[in-house]
Amino acid sequence: MTTEDQHRAVIASEFRPARWLTHRHLQTILPALPWTYRHRPALRRESLELPDGDVTAVDWAAEADAFPDDAPLLVILHGLESSSDSSYSRMLMQAATNKGWRSCVLNFRDCADYRNRLPRRYHAGETSDLQHFLKTLSQTLSSRAIVAAGYSLGGNVLLKYLGEAGTLSHLRAAVAVCVPLDLHLCSEALNSGFSRIYQRYLLGHMKSSVRRKFNRDTAAFDWERAMHARTFAEFDDAVTAPLHGFTGMRDYYDRCSSGQYLKDIATPTLIINALDDPFMTPGVIPHRDRLSPQVTLEISERGGHVGFVSGGTPWRPKFYLPGRVIGFLERYL
């Protein structure tokens, strides 16, 4: 084994599920319930003007405004149809604040009840907005270390950005959680068994977002196909692809699956995925030889999708991810 192969780390996770929450669907669903994590950090919203004339929103942890100018900055990327209001974002912002770090959530276009201007939204491979935001931060915060964490679709965006940027990345370190590394396989997984429930729920939100932004006369896509889509593949073929310059769903998935970018990452990066994640199959887990020497792949037997409930009670659960994410990033600050 070469020295390079030795540094391509695939490790077993130390996560152990709470005894009362071992099932993958319960691990996935419980953290999304509003009463499992009630704390809501005060947020300060800023508009981010984008190079193509569009706009999106950045939500900052207001409590950290008083921190020193050289405090580290954590940028968080949310998942599909989510925002800074997600429990995982709020948990991580609070964990960063407790460490004395500043933090923010870069909301994707048309998310967080913030309407963008152009006739488009966001997708799993949209890295230009993140690249622009990080470049802006690095120019205005030259003395501050910047790190990032992405969840689910946001993790895919983060890994794709890191692979595209290579040695020119503006990040000191990064963590990506429950990443759909192969969009084809994830689309198939979500159209199987109980996972169809998640697909139906998220598709409902996606269609509502589309109806809020477009109508039958203004849509730059087949409105009937979009409204009658029953799977992610159908929706992405009808809406996501034409809105964002892809020839179809297959072209979109081929070009935007982040697994193909892992070998080019030059930033210390941790990927955390669970084998029982109902949003994907174990087939998305890449072989060691597809990782760059800077990537550590942490595989957990359990955890569900962005769940990782490690203890506590159903009314006050404890979560593994915030401490693990902060702990990894802290090593590079």
The two beta strands, 9-12 and 295-300, are: parallel
Dist. CA 214–CA 186, nearest whole Å? 27
Helices (H) and strands (E) in the chain, counts: 12, 11
| Contact yes or no for 285/275 (Cβ under 8 A) | yes
Report the alpha-carbon distance of residue 118 to residue 109 in Å, rounded.
9
Active-site residue list: 152, 277, 305
For the record, the structure tokens of 102 come out as 């500043």
The backbone torsions φ and ψ at residue 312, rounded to the nearest 5 degrees and listed phi first, read 75, -145
Single-letter code of the amino acid located at 3: T
Cα three-residue angle 173-38-14, rounded to 5 degrees: 45
